[in-house]
A and B are shown apart, each in its own frame.
Chain A
Amino acid sequence: MATASRIPLVSALQTLWRVRRDDEVVITTMGSAREWMTLGEPHALDFILVPSAMGHGTSIGLGLALAQPGKRVIVCSGDGSLLMNLGSLASIVAANVPNLVVIVFDNGVYEVTGQQPTAAAGLGRLDGRNADFCGVARACGFDSVHEFNDATAWANDARSALDSKGPTFISLNVEPVVGGTAPHSPGPTAARAQQFMEALRR
Chain B
Amino acid sequence: MFSGDQIASLLSEVGVTHVISVPDSTIGQWEPAIERTGRIRLVRVCREGEAWQVAAGLYLGGATPLVMIQCTGLFESGDAIRNALHDWKVPVFSIVGYRSYLDQAKLPGDTCLVFTEPILDAWKIDYRLITSPAELHVIRDHFLSCRAVGRAGAALIAE
**Partner among A54, A90, A197 whose Cβ is within 8 Å of the Cβ of B60:** A197
Please tell me if B79 contacts chain A, counting CB pairs below 8 Å: yes
A contact patch SS: helix
Q: Is the CB of B62 within 8 A of A91?
A: no
**Partner among A66, A87, A197 whose Cβ is within 8 Å of the Cβ of B50:** A87
Q: How far is the CB of A102 from chain B (nearest CB, A)?
A: 13
Q: Is the CB of A62 within 8 A of B57?
A: yes
Q: Which residues on A sit within 8 Å (CB–CB) of B43? A: 62, 66, 91, 95
Most buried by A among B49, B53, B58, B83: B53
Interface residues of A in 79-93 (CB under 8 A from B): 85, 87-88, 90-91
Nearest A residue to B45, CB-CB: A91
Q: Which residues on B sit within 8 Å (CB–CB) of A62? A: 43, 54, 57
Q: Which residues on A sit within 8 Å (CB–CB) of B60? A: 47, 60, 63-64, 67, 193, 196-197, 200
Q: How far is the CB of B26 from chain A (nearest CB, A)?
A: 22
Please tell me if B11 contacts chain A, counting CB pairs below 8 Å: no
Nearest A residue to B79, CB-CB: A53
Q: Which residues on B sit within 8 Å (CB–CB) of A200? A: 60-62
Q: Is the CB of A64 within 8 A of B57?
A: yes
Q: Is the CB of B62 within 8 A of A197?
A: yes
Interface size, A (range):
20 to 34
Q: How far is the CB of A202 from chain B (nearest CB, A)?
A: 12
Please tell me if B87 contacts chain A, counting CB pairs below 8 Å: yes
Q: Which residues on B sit within 8 Å (CB–CB) of A54? A: 79
- Decide: A91 near B46, CB < 8 A? Known: A63-B60, A67-B63: yes
Nearest B residue to A52, CB-CB: B83
Q: Is the CB of A63 within 8 A of B45?
A: no
Q: Is the CB of A63 within 8 A of B44?
A: no
Please tell me if A201 contacts chain B, counting CB pairs below 8 Å: yes
Query: How far does the alpha carbon of A62 sit from the alpha carbon of B50 in the complex, in Å?
Result: 10
Q: Is the CB of A63 within 8 A of B88?
A: no
Q: Is the CB of A63 within 8 A of B55?
A: yes
**Partner among B41, B45, B55, B90 whose Cβ is within 8 Å of the Cβ of A87:** B45
Nearest B residue to A193, CB-CB: B88
- Decide: A63 near B62, CB < 8 A? Known: A53-B84, A56-B83: no
Q: List 23 A-B contacts (CB under 8 A).
A: A51-B87, A54-B79, A56-B83, A63-B56, A63-B59, A63-B65, A64-B57, A65-B57, A66-B57, A66-B58, A66-B63, A67-B59, A68-B61, A68-B62, A87-B45, A91-B45, A91-B54, A95-B44, A189-B89, A193-B60, A193-B90, A200-B61, A201-B62
The chain B residues found within 8 Å of chain A, CB to CB, are: 18, 20, 41, 43-47, 49-50, 52-63, 65, 79-80, 82-84, 87-90
